Amino acid sequence: MDQPLVSVIIPVYSNARFLGAAIDSALAQTHPAIEVIAVDDGSIDGCADVLAGYGERIRCLRQPNGGPSIARRRGAEAARGEYLALLDADDVWDTHKIARQIDLMQRIPEAVATYCDHRRIDADGRVIAASGACYGLRGSGRIFDALLRGNFILTASVMLMRRDAYVRAGGFTDDRVFWGDDFSLSLRLSTCGAILYQAETLVSYRQHGANTSGSKYEQSRGDAHAFDVLVRHLRANGDSTLLPAARQARRRAYIAAAWHCRKRGEYRRALRYRLQA
């Protein structure tokens, strides 16, 4: 039986120190049909040399710096696979990550995506937390309502999605840099069908000084924007069933963003969020 092609999309920006480990983990997958697409988002360190060292084993795209959302979107546009998998350039996959996820998706064809657990590692690759599942409940199946209460798919590197579902969800649509572009996509994917939780730790999420995970302030503003994108997506698709709950979640996110802006002394921005809530 032919195995489906999985397109691995790696947005790259000035993280040459960790990039090789990420690419190596993608190329080492036991799933036999993999293409690796690295999108160099205007790196200013040695990433170009690292990428060049892989030759024809990977596809490398280059663009001016625009942020991870634009880089991921360009990678998805270039992808040939039936499935898309996102891998941040400082994270590492276990060798059987894709194989395990493909097996699950093929057994449950109505699912649009799956996500697994992650461990946390430091800059030197030492494990500092064994499982992300220790830090919150995980939803599985039709998880739209659960995601409205808070994001539990904490890194894009844990996901695998059907390409057609990515397209139906609108993909990475944003042209500006904001925290939470992967959360925005997860929200919209959850309107398309089931997202399955795989209770296996298959990803190493790296924590280091240059991470873009975001402060509480950045996260609150990113969440507000993600819910705003969700509401627009539902309106555009005429989905009146999910729209009321999405609007309520957006209101809560705007109030939270207003609070964090006020805490930083950004009173005008806080007022704008509060008035829009």
Q: Encode 47-63: b = buried (16+ Cβ within 10 Å), e = exposed.
A: beebbeebeeebbbbee
Which structure tokens are listed for 138?
């995980």
Burial 153-174, CB ≥16 within 10 A → b, else e: bbbbbbbbbbbebbebbbbbeb
Q: What does residue 111 show for φ and ψ, rounded to 5 degrees?
A: -75, 145
Check if the beta carbon of residue 233 is closer than 8 Å to that of residue 170.
yes
pLDDT 10s digits, 107-151: 999 999 999 999 999 999 999 988 766 566 788 999 999 999 999
Q: Does the pLDDT value for residue 1 go beyond 70?
A: no
For range 143-170, the mean pLDDT: 96
pLDDT value for 216? 84
- The pLDDT value given to residue 217: 86
**Region 6-206: CATH code:** 3.90.550.10
Helix (H, G, I), strand (E, B) or coil at 91: coil
Burial class (CB in 10 A: 0-12, 13-18, 19+), 33: middle
C-alpha–C-alpha distance, residues 111 and 141, integer Å: 8
pLDDT-derived band at 102, boundaries 50, 70, 90: very high
pLDDT tier at 214, thresholds 50, 70, 90: low
Task: Say if residues 227 and 250 touch (Cβ distance below 8 Å).
Answer: yes
CA distance 100 to 264: 44
Residue ranges of domains in the chain: 6-206, 216-276
Angstrom distance (rounded) from CA 241 to CA 152: 23
Average pLDDT over every residue of 194-218: 85
pLDDT of residue 177: 60
